[in-house]
């Protein structure tokens, strides 16, 4: 069992965008960051290289967060190697936007499985381990869509609202064990996730009059995972330029 790192970190969906920025933020000499990905190994390796370029440590780990058995197997492999996972960031997510009237069952199910069921799939064994170790930091990436709802995103909004409820409930279950559970709810952040959206029209609706930057999300996640945030739990914190 490897005990050479002070903290073991798992960030899901960390090959690009917000997930990559979070993995880099959490990458330090004292930590080992597991960079989860499903398809784009090249991008996941790039995330690792960026972490290592700042003095951090990283490894890639490939699995589908929407698959319960696959998630359990890979989480267990990290626990077997290190005995613990100290920080978990549930970031993996997809969009499949359609108006409800034209939405098919796969459009609904795939988004719910990846964005919400994954929270349970990935977190269950980790929470058990954190309870035993009496320490943990869990940050779930929700969305402004889960707070206010977005037309054309009934599936995405439902999943992200579910993350908010799950965050609040789990936080109450584990607070006495020195485990914090919080959610960060980004608004419109300049990533590949918003490609295809009417950016000019969206920007007009944002009081801050611009898209957010991935670093503005990752810096908050970094704070929530630090000792300075040890009395913050069960909170949903928006990074949205004033939209919600």
Model confidence pLDDT, tens digit, residues 139-152: 999 999 999 999 99
Determine the pLDDT at residue 194: 78
Determine the pLDDT at residue 1: 64
Residue 169: exposed, middle, or buried by beta-carbon count in 10 A (0-12, 13-18, 19+)? exposed
Which residue ranges form the domains of the chain, and what is each CATH number? 7-239 (3.40.50.720)
CB 104 within 8 A of CB 145: no
CB 107 within 8 A of CB 74: no
3-state secondary structure of 238: strand
Outline where DSSP puts E strands in the chain: 7-11, 31-37, 57-62, 87-90, 136-141, 179-186, 236-239
Q: What angle do CA 235, 64, 223 make, to 5 degrees?
A: 30
Give the active site residues: 156
CB 174 within 8 A of CB 132: no
CB 209 within 8 A of CB 242: no
**pLDDT < 50: residue spans in the chain:** none
How would you classify the pairing of strands 31-37 and 57-62? Answer: parallel
Determine the pLDDT at residue 244: 80
Q: How far apart are CA 239 and CA 143, in angstroms?
A: 9
Helices then strands, counting H and E runs in the chain, come out as: 9, 7
CB 182 within 8 A of CB 233: yes
Q: How far is CA 64 from CA 17, 23, 115, in A?
A: 18, 18, 11
What pTM was computed for the model? 0.95
Q: How far apart are CA 168 and CA 43, in angstroms?
A: 32
CB 232 within 8 A of CB 33: no
CB 90 within 8 A of CB 118: yes
Determine the pLDDT at residue 169: 98
């Amino acid at each position: 069992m490897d005990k050479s790192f002070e903290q073991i970190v798992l960030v899901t969906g960390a090959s690009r965008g917000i997930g990559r920025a979070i993995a880099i933020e959490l990458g330090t000499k004292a930590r080992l960051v597991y960079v989860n990905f499903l398809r784009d190994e090249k991008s996941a390796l790039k995330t690792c290289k960026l972490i290592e370029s700042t003095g951090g440590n990283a490894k890639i780990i490939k699995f589908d967060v929407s698959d319960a058995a696959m998630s359990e197997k890979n989480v267990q492999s990290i626990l077997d190697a290190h005995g613990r996972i100290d920080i978990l960031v549930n970031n993996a997510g997809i969009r499949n936007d359609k108006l409800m009237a034209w939405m098919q069952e796969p459009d609904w199910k795939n988004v719910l499985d990846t964005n919400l069921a994954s929270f349970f799939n990935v977190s269950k064994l980790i929470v058990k381990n954190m309870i035993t170790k009496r320490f943990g930091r869990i940050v779930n990436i929700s969305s402004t869509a889960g707070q206010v709802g977005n037309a054309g995103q009934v599936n995405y909004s439902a999943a992200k609202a579910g993350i908010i409820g799950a965050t609040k409930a789990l936080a109450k279950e584990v607070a006495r064990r020195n485990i914090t559970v919080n959610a960060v709810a980004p608004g419109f952040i300049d990533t590949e996730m918003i490609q295809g959206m009417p950016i000019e029209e969206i920007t007009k609706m944002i009081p801050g009059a611009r898209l957010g930057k991935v670093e503005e999300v990752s810096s908050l996640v970094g704070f929530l995972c630090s000792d300075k945030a040890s009395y913050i739990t069960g909170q949903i914190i928006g990074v949205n330029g004033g939209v919600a």
